[in-house]
Amino acid sequence: MAALQGAVETTAPVSRLHEQRSYDPADFGVPTGREEEWRFTPLRRLRGLHTDAPLPGGKVTVECDPAPEVTVENIERGNRRLGTAYVPADRVSARAFTSFAEATVVTVPRGVVASRPTVISVRGDDPAGAVFGHVVVELEPLAQAVVVLDHTGSATYADNVELIVGDGATLAVVSLQDWASDTVHLSHHHAQVGRDARFTHTAVTLGGSVVRLAPSVRYAGPGGEAELRGLYFADAGQHLEHRLFVDHGERNCRSRVTYKGALQGADAHAVWIGDVVIRAEATGTDTYEYNRNLVLTDGTRVDSVPNLEILTGEVVGAGHASASGRLEDHHLFYLMARGIPYDEARRLVIRGFFGQLIAQIEVPELHARITSAVEAELA
């Protein structure tokens, strides 16, 4: 019943996998698909984003609707304020860093609490050409904000998002990959979490042809907390890949990774990589990662690979769990034995599966939209 497919352990230690960093695409070879970080990704469907050939431009519009307390600037590539927190970890990311036209930079001043979410809308209008993007969100110490990244439309898009959470600050990011079905999107979201800061990140990936999103966290001081959540629903032909990396290099930090996905239809493919490293100096670390996949039809493929590397003996907690399986027959039987028809019972169980995760999202206005988007997938 709980058919765990493709849970292949990697051979290299997690710490080694994430060693290579550069702003220069030439420092990374063109991926062939045999590399650890590319082996699950359908390179042929990336429309050349990973190659070295020049690409025609497309059309992506980035608009920001900020909370009144925050500042938003558009800054040209090359400015020294960009790329401070994150150095690209793969070729596409480096290519985005050297190719975008203008970055959107959101700053929340010290001690300021944003009164409403800041929404950055990324809308694609042309899947034929490629567009590169860059976003920086910086919370100065003790600031608090919620930021929504709302991706819609048709695009071939690669971008980097730098999230700087100052000491004692609290940042919640919700990233919606609500793309049209012809979009290819490759993205890195990297958070630098300050001393006693709190960071939550929720990826909601429902649309797109190929979406490869890599949320990562590094701690810049002790006592930081990071909670990474994800919800995805892969339909026929969709490739939805989430590559998590939490780098514990500071004392007494905490991380939680919870990703839940559902798959249905021929060649629906979900990939979840959960890399966590606890370095020698990161004593008192508390980490747990969890991935659960609901396989709704035949012909789908799940690759779920948790990797935990622990380099200190003094951890508070370190664990992971991964399971992929079908809907539980005894759940369906129980509901149907009360008169509820099969389709309705199935919807109830799937809604329940995602419900708790949706309820945790810091923007209540989004709950209904996400719930109905999931319902639409089931219809």
Partner 1 sequence: MSTLEIRDLHVSVTDPAGESQEILRGVDLVMRSGQTHAIMGPNGSGKSTLAYAIAGHPKYQVTKGSVTLDGEDVLAMSVDARARAGLFLAMQYPAEVPGVSVSNFLRTAITAVRGEPPKLRLFLKEMRAAMADLSIDPVFAERNVNEGFSGGEKKRHEILQLQLLNPKIAILDETDSGLDIDALKVVADGINRFRATEGHGVLLITHYTRILRYVKPDFVHVFVGGRIVKQGGAELAEELETSGYEEFVKKAGAPA
Site for partner 1 in 290-329 (CB under 8 A): 328-329
Selected from 80, 337, 364, 379, the binder of partner 1 by CB under 8 A is 337
Shortest separation between residue 334's beta carbon and partner 1, angstroms: 4
Selected from 336, 362, 373, 378, the binder of partner 1 by CB under 8 A is 336
By CB under 8 A, residue 233 contacts partner 1: no
Site for partner 1 in 149-178 (CB under 8 A): none
Site for partner 1 in 351-370 (CB under 8 A): 351-356
Shortest separation between residue 259's beta carbon and partner 1, angstroms: 16
By CB under 8 A, residue 330 contacts partner 1: yes
Shortest separation between residue 244's beta carbon and partner 1, angstroms: 23
By CB under 8 A, residue 375 contacts partner 1: no
The residue range among 47-55, 74-82, 213-221, 344-352 that interacts with partner 1, by the rule CB under 8 A, is 344-352
Shortest separation between residue 342's beta carbon and partner 1, angstroms: 7
Other beta carbons less than 10 A from residue 193's beta carbon: 28
Shortest separation between residue 32's beta carbon and partner 1, angstroms: 42
By CB under 8 A, residue 53 contacts partner 1: no
By CB under 8 A, residue 338 contacts partner 1: yes
Shortest separation between residue 79's beta carbon and partner 1, angstroms: 46
Selected from 11, 339, 364, 379, the binder of partner 1 by CB under 8 A is 339
Binding site for partner 1 (CB under 8 A): 328-331, 333-342, 344-345, 348-349, 351-356
